[in-house]
Copies of this chain bind each other. A is one copy, B any other.
Amino acid sequence: MKVTVVGLGLIGGSMAIDLRKAGLATSLIGIDQNPGHISKAIELGLVDKVLPENEAFATSDLIILAIPVNAIGAFLPSVLDAVNKNAIVIDAGSTKKMICQSVAGHSKRNQFVAAHPIAGTEYSGPESAFQGLFSDKTNIICERDKSSEKALAVATKIFEVLGMNTIFMEPEEHDKHVAYVSHLSHVSSFLLGQTVLDIEKDEKNIFDLAGSGFASTVRLAKSSPDMWTPIFEQNAEYLSQALLEYIMHLQKFQYHLQKRDAKELHKIMTKANGIRRVLEKS
């Protein structure tokens, strides 16, 4: 299968590695706005070569879009315009509503599969790609009924090869759930990082005092603003709601803290311990 990967970062690069390894991708074309990423991806063997966009799209069996979500929405209609009638287009964006809307009326909508393989690290760029990133993780496909049977079959095969478990959801439902379970974690981490940086002007103290607990909680604050700004923008409604709930819980805690109400603090933490059930099963 001739595969074009648009966006040679952590997600696109890691997919390329696994698809080639599985023998599914026999030829890999790379497209990226950043010329440095292209030469790095070729040097690392993530992709074989670069071609002009329209030539790549017209001659590929599968096109994977692994670029920021605003770029997917803007680019996807013209990608579908350019592909041949047997090609499949899959995206890997972390929001789904606006991306699905961008091709809602497109004549080749059924050649597109709207996906969100939930995997990643706080690193980005071709050097951050690695084999097995997606293994045992969950993939979400949205609007399955708008993709052709053939497109769904190819996409399902791809995500199987990546070792993922695919579930199906509507875009609104997807965006709401990931606001709480993924996007809110990122916001909480970014702002924990900022709060601590703001206060601890003397960074030496943070170096010394930061235990592994802090490092774990603040890890996502290292994530790429270029990638996350459009995700937050596109999911602003649900994320804003999640953030208000979070702030409300923090304010309640702060109220009990100021009152030194040990009983209430203990109760809140005991409830929060319930997250063990989730983490240990996931």
Contact = CB atoms under 8 A, between A and B. Distances in A.
Interface string A141-184: 00000000000000000000000010100000000011011101
Interface string A210-244: 11111111111111011011101100100110111
A274 to B, nearest CB: 5
Nearest to A208: B138
Contacts of A281: 207
A33 to B, nearest CB: 17
Q: SS class of chain A's interface: helix, strand, loop or mixed?
A: helix
B178 A245 contact: no
A238 to B, nearest CB: 10
A200 B180 contact: yes
Interface centre among A138, A184, A212, A272 (most CB of B within 10 A): A272
A194 B225 contact: no
A118 interface: yes
Nearest to A273: B222
Given A178-B209, A210-B181, A282-B210, A257 B269 contact: no
Nearest to A210: B282
A83 to B, nearest CB: 30
